[in-house]
Structure 1
Amino acid sequence: MKTRQLKYYLTVADELNFSRASEKLNIEASPLSRAIGDLESYFGVPFLHRRKGRIRLTIAGQVFREEAQHILDYIESVKHKVISANKGFRSQLRIGLTDGLVQPRIARLLALCREEEPQTAIRIATMDVRQMLDALERGHLDAAFTLDGEATGSYTKAVAWTERPAVALPIRHPLLARETIYLRDTKPYSFLVCHPETWSGGHYLLRKWFAETSSSLPREAVTASGHDTLMMLVGAGYGLGACLESRALTQPHPDVVFRPLGDTVSPAEILLVFKEPSPSPSLERFIERALRSVDSPVE
């Protein structure tokens, strides 16, 4: 196999159309079809059902789609390790960020790592929680930050820091007259819900906060795939939303006003998750810095 064939197959599997895939890859459809046929011959199984110009993946094709992506990811990881070693780095850490946790606290942590251990290269990848768990399981990540304390139940975790929730309201909303918002106050209004897959950590926290106040999430609600989408929808008047207090302080939105949540609920725990119960020395030092660097307040 060649990596080129894997890239060809993934494109065809995404497009399910040879014409669109060939345009995307900038090659003719015939050599693309031959490359996929060579892969099928190599494994001795069909990956695609071809019928009347329509394509769908076989069961084997679905499995190979996932494995092909993992192979390419692994090759890319090796490439980065080799390049890092050539530049003088002695080790490398691969850190995942989920639930939109790209914020000043983590930037401060990365700056501290560069200052105290410049010989360790750190690669950052943003993803959803499902992708993060898969990457940890396959050894493609060393650790990851997430809000999801449910999906990560079987993994080793450290609470990096905690935060209070805030409520986001569109400008000129009736609840702006109140200095503090309680979840019961939001019942007459539309409430935006975090998407259970692309923003599972936020969804987990919302369910937890509503349950702790003896309430339930709205059954029919617009879902937001991430913090930026949530702010856009709140600003457009689609409803109210909940977010972390730090996001309200550090990433204001011109059409959104924030109020603290008045309910007594558990704080949001930002978790640093890793698979190995005994982390490597470089990861152990990263964890120690993560717990140390977030003690100071957000500026």
Structure 2
Amino acid sequence: MELRHIRYFLAVAEEMNFTRAADKLCIAQPPLSRQIQDLENELGVKLFIRNPHALQLTEEGQLFRQYAIQVIDLVNKSTEEIREMKQGLQGTLFLASVEGHAPRLFSEWIAGFHQLHPHVQYNLWNGNSDDVVNRVMKGLCDLAIIMEPHNAEGVEALSVYKEPWIVMIPSSHPLARHEESTIELAELAPYDLIIPSRASRLQEISGWFQMTGQKPKICCRIAHMLNAFELTRQGVGIAIYPASAAEVGISSDICIKELVNPSVTVSYVLIWNKDHQLSHVATEFIHYIKKHIPDSE
């Protein structure tokens, strides 16, 4: 058995599709199928149940997958540490984040970490919370930042930042003429609202209104802050978003006020797959982050 057999097996086990796994490995499908068959013959068991339209791991395949992950993690870790003995910390950090303040957090951490470890490289990806969590669980990234609430099982989470919720109001709207820098939730009830698209956000915001005995009038649910900013600027509605939405742009067409009664915050958390052994560079990056966040342990 060679390492390539193990890597090929893990690729197929992750994709559950020979064609996609072959594309990921940059090889043709027939050779990949033969390599998996050779591995099964050597082990004397079937690792996959081959259905017409889907693959499924056998019980033996599930057990072999656990050992295969440990083997590859050990190979990667030993290779990294031997190289680092001569050249210092190196490797590539695969990171993912939601929008908002998360990209700024990663940028600040990378800037400081890069000064300490100039040989480390970075690969950053942005998406919504569901996509980001999915990449973490599939092993496509080492670390990620998402917003709470989250119900992702199998992840470790470290709180790294909090910010208030704000209200973006078209400057022509009557509420924009108030001199106060804050606005109470109850004042928004009669008007069309623009909110984040996550189902958990709709439940959260609806819960706030329920405490006031009112129901929100949702006209738009938006996945990206830029869209909320532009829709507000065009007068479509009033947007309720985390404070970093105000950083998208500055416009005389929009008035920004902090939401009060209730005064609520949103938390950003750093996550990683607790069932996956992190690389040395990812572990060191987490240690660096813990030293540079408020109230870190």
TM range, smaller chain: 0.5 to 0.7
- How do 1:45-64 and structure 2 match up within 5 A? 60=53
Partner of 1:181: 183
Partner of 1:109: 109
Matched, 1:168 2:152: no
Alignment-mate amino acid for residue 208 of structure 1: E
Q: Tell me, what secondary structure is at the counterpart of 1:181? A: strand
Which one is further off, 229-238 or 147-156? 147-156
Partner of 2:96: 96
Compare the two structures and name the one with the higher strand fraction: 2
Q: In the TM superposition, what whole-angstrom CA distance separates every residue of 1:66-112 from its partner, at most 9, and x where no partner exists? A: xxxxxxxxxxxxxxx9xx99xx7722211101244454333212211
Structure 1 residue 129, shift from structure 2 partner: 2.2
Structure 1 residue 217, shift from structure 2 partner: 6.3
Query: 2 CA distance for matches of 1:209 and 1:291?
Result: 31
Query: 1 CA distance for matches of 2:143 and 2:129?
Result: 12
Partner of 2:63: none
Matched, 1:285 2:287: no
Alignment-mate amino acid for residue 141 of structure 1: C
1:183–1:210 CA contact under 8 A, matched in 2: no
Q: 1:133 to 1:110 in 2, by over 3 A?
A: same
Q: 1:206 to 1:182 in 2, by over 3 A?
A: farther
With normalisation by structure 2, the TM-score equals 0.62
Which one is further off, 150-159 or 267-276? 150-159
Alignment-mate amino acid for residue 200 of structure 2: Y
**Identity of paired residues, percent?**
15
Matched, 1:208 2:207: no
Query: 2 CA distance for matches of 1:270 and 1:145?
Result: 7
Structure 1 residue 254, shift from structure 2 partner: 4.0
- How do 1:61-80 and structure 2 match up within 5 A? none
Partner of 1:159: 159
Larger radius of gyration: 2
Alignment-mate amino acid for residue 53 of structure 2: A
Query: 2 CA distance for matches of 1:243 and 1:230?
Result: 8
**Structure 1: 5+ residue stretches without partners:** 8-34, 44-58, 64-80, 197-202
1:205–1:268 CA contact under 8 A, matched in 2: no
Q: In the TM superposition, what whole-angstrom CA distance separates every residue of 1:234-277 from its partner, at most 9, and x where no partner exists? A: 11111111222234257433422100111234421011111126
Q: 1:144 to 1:241 in 2, by over 3 A?
A: same
Which one is further off, 112-121 or 285-294? 285-294
1:152–1:273 CA contact under 8 A, matched in 2: no
Structure 1 residue 124, shift from structure 2 partner: 0.5
With normalisation by structure 1, the TM-score equals 0.62
Partner of 1:267: 265
Query: 2 CA distance for matches of 1:219 and 1:155?
Result: 35
Structure 1 residue 155, shift from structure 2 partner: 1.8
Structure 1 residue 165, shift from structure 2 partner: 1.0
1:92–1:121 CA contact under 8 A, matched in 2: yes
Partner of 2:251: 253
Alignment-mate amino acid for residue 192 of structure 1: I
Matched residue pairs, number? 223
Structure 1 residue 153, shift from structure 2 partner: 5.0
Alignment-mate amino acid for residue 142 of structure 1: D
Partner of 2:124: 124
1:147–1:268 CA contact under 8 A, matched in 2: yes
Structure 1 residue 116, shift from structure 2 partner: 1.8
Query: 2 CA distance for matches of 1:257 and 1:281?
Result: 46
Alignment-mate amino acid for residue 186 of structure 1: L
Q: In the TM superposition, what whole-angstrom CA distance separates every residue of 1:157-201 from its partner, at most 9, and x where no partner exists? A: 0001111111111112111215111111111110012122xxxxx
Structure 1 residue 123, shift from structure 2 partner: 1.1
Query: 2 CA distance for matches of 1:231 and 1:260?
Result: 15
1:159–1:271 CA contact under 8 A, matched in 2: yes
Q: Tell me, what secondary structure is at the counterpart of 1:135? A: helix
Query: 1 CA distance for matches of 2:156 and 2:179?
Result: 41
Alignment-mate amino acid for residue 189 of structure 1: Y
Q: 1:140 to 1:170 in 2, by over 3 A?
A: same
